[in-house]
Amino acid sequence: MSRLFPERLTVDFAPGELAARGKTLAYDPGYGSEPWHGALEQLKTLDLGNARVTLELSSHLVRYALVPWTDALATPAEEEVYVRHHFARIHGERAKDWAVRASEAAPGEPRLASAIDAALLAALKEAFRAKKAKLVSVQPALMRRFNASRKSLPRDGAWLVIAEPERACVALHGGKHWRAVQNAKGAWRAALERERHRVEGAVPSLVLLAGVAAPAAEAAWQFKEMPA
């Protein structure tokens, strides 16, 4: 690996395991007072060389919401307050301790927003201060996988499913904007079927999957694995 062109590396950060370079490190998810404490301790001991690292956060560690468009926001600070207020309406006062972010959207369209514990984000940054590797990005799994697949989305959009042990994140992108998102405990197939019946109007049959192998096509669904 050249010092001028360091390795670009994605590390999967999840309760119960940490994955990088095709290897998975398992640990006790009950370690510490937060579900991410065990993964953080593993990360501190992981030799990443001088790689430029993107951390992909498990859906277990992220909250999602569709935030309605508003023309009243003039600054990034106002946008953060607006997004945080939306999460607070759903989750209560604990949202004040979250780091929030919202995707770009065309005027009038809803945006997909994500929230993680601010303490987690600070701890991840601190963990890299003692490493040669550089932390260049911390991304929720749904957003990183969507960005990797975006150019190949058909015009009528697709479902995006991030399947993990005991959790499924299911989102619907209509080709131009986000239409639905649900991040909940349980199996991904059950979550997908629930969302299909909740969404109004016609929906695409294409399902982009991460975390599981794509099943054979069915009458209602066509499955395809998302890029890693």
Cα separation, 131 vs 135, in Å, equals: 9
Please indicate whether the domains covering 1-144 and 153-225 agree at the CATH topology level: yes
Position 104 scores a pLDDT of 85
Position 2 scores a pLDDT of 53
CATH classification for the domain delimited by 153-225, as one of 1.10.3470, 1.10.260, 2.160.20, 3.30.420: 3.30.420
**Partners of 111 in the beta sheet?**
67
Position 14 scores a pLDDT of 93
What does each C-alpha distance from 198 to 44, 179, 192 come to in angstroms? 42, 11, 10
Q: Taking a C-beta distance cutoff of 8 angstroms, is the pair 135, 124 a contact?
A: yes
Residue position matching structure tokens 């095709």: 22
Position 4 scores a pLDDT of 58
Phi-psi group of 114: left, alpha or beta (phi > 0 → left; psi -120 to 50 → alpha; rest → beta): beta
Its pTM stands at 0.91
Position 63 scores a pLDDT of 97
Q: Taking a C-beta distance cutoff of 8 angstroms, is the pair 12, 18 a contact?
A: yes
What architecture (CATH level 2) is domain 1-144?
2-Layer Sandwich (3.30)
- Residue 123: count other Cβ atoms within 10 Å of its Cβ: 16
Where are the domains positioned within the chain? 1-144, 153-225
Q: 202: which 2 tokens?
A: 């016609």
Q: Per-residue pLDDT tens for 16-54?
A: 889 998 888 888 878 888 989 999 999 998 999 999 999
Cα separation, 70 vs 110, in Å, equals: 9
